[in-house]
Amino acid sequence: MYSNPLLTIVTPTRGNFTDYWLEQLLKIQGNVQFILVYPPEGTIKNIDDSRIKNLRSPYKGEVIQRFTGLLNVDSEYVLALDDDDYVHPDILDLTFKYFRLFPESWVLRLKIENIQYTDEVRIQKDWEPNPDVEQLEICKKTPENPFPFQKGNYKGLLEVPIAPLDKSVDIRHIIFPWHQRKDQSGIHFENFNNRIWKTERVKAALYELSTAMNIFGALTWIPLWNLDRMLGLFVQAKFYQKDAIIGHATPKPEQIRYIVRDNSLKETRLHVIADLLLLKCYPQYGYLWNLILWQIYAIPKVWGRAVKLKLMKLRQSN
C-alpha cells in the first residue's frame, strides 16, 4: 500500500457491492487508496489489492461507517463514494492537475450524471476523457454574466462560492411550507459526497462534529439520517468567509455516475435531525435556521412514507 497516497476514496459498505463495481473502482491507477468500511458484524471481502484498507465501524449505520473511514484518511485529498456509484478511472490525474493550479481551493466539485439503476448500457458506457483543467477558462459570476451555471451547461471551470450561510432567517418557510426554498438557488452547494475535498479541512470539521454529538455523559447523538449534506455544510460553516470562492466545478463530461434507485428501495431519512446538529454548533447562521423551518411540515410526510414502506415489505414477506 502506498505510504502517502494523494487521494483516498472512502466507501461505507455491507459487502454486497457488485463485482462490476469493484472492477471499475480498481481501474483507478496511481497513488490512490481505497477505504472500505464495514458494519461491526459484516463479512469483510478478501480483495487482492494492496491499495484497499478494510475497516470496521464501532456501530451499525452508513453514517458512522463513513465517519470512521474519513477519520482514518491519511492522504491530502478525499472523496466519499457509495458502493453503487462510479468514479472516472482517471480521477487521480484530474485531482493532481486541479489542486496544482488552485492550491488554495478547498474542494473540486465533480460533474455528476444521474443514471437509472436499470440502465446498464449507460452505466457501462466507456468514459470520455476528462476535460484538461489547464486549458479551461474560468467561469465567474459577474454583472455581465450573473448566471454562469447555465443550467449545468457551462464549458469552463465554474467558480464555486461558499454557501450563503449569513442569510437572514425567513419566517415564510413556516407560513408557506409548500413553497420551495429560495435561499439555495445559485452555484454553491450543500452536499459532501462525490466531491474531492482537502482532507485537513474535513478532519478539522469531523473532530468538532464528534464533540458536538455528545449530549451529556455517555449519551452520544449519532445523526443516522444525513451525513452527506450535514458534513458539506459543516465544513463551510467552520471555515466560513463571506463570499469566498472555495473551489470550482468541472464541466461535462461526467466524472461521477450516480445511480438513481426507486424510492421504495431507499432508506427513509429524516434530514431535520442532522440539521439540528448543525444548528447546535452554528446558531448564528440564518441559512441553517431556514433549513429547519422549511422541513417542519415535512416530518409527518417522511414518517408516513416510512410506515407505508414497512407495511409493504411485511405484506410482500407474507
Q: Which three cell numbers stand for residue 180?
A: 420551495
Q: What is the pLDDT of residues 295-311, one digit of tens each?
A: 776 666 655 665 666 66
**8 Å CB contact between 117 and 261:** yes
Predicted pLDDT at 267:
59
Query: Between 152 and 105, where is the model more confident?
Result: 105
Among residues 60, 58, 49, 65, which one has the least CA distance to residue 10? 65
Q: What is the pLDDT of residues 113-139, one digit of tens each?
A: 999 999 999 999 999 999 999 999 999
What is the rounded CA–CA span in Å between residue 145 and residue 282? 33
In the chain, the percentage of residues whose pLDDT exceeds 70 is 82
Among residues 142, 31, 141, which one has the least CA distance to residue 95? 31
For 162: left if phi > 0, alpha if psi spans -120 to 50, otherwise beta; the answer is beta
Radius of gyration of the chain (CA): 20
Q: Which three cell numbers stand for residue 167?
A: 442569510
Burial of 310 (0-12, 13-18, 19+ CB in 10 A): exposed
Q: What is the pLDDT of residues 142-183, one digit of tens each?
A: 888 888 888 888 999 999 999 999 988 877 766 766 666 666
Predicted pLDDT at 181:
67
Predicted pLDDT at 2:
45
Mean pLDDT of 288-297: 80
User: Is this structure's pTM higher than 0.85?
Assistant: yes
End-to-end CA distance of the chain: 48
Angle at 269 between CA 263 and CA 275, to 5 degrees: 140
Lowest mean pLDDT among 99-108, 221-230, 276-285: 221-230
**8 Å CB contact between 105 and 124:** no
- Checking if the pLDDT of 257 tops 70, the result is yes
Query: Between 313 and 151, where is the model more confident?
Result: 151
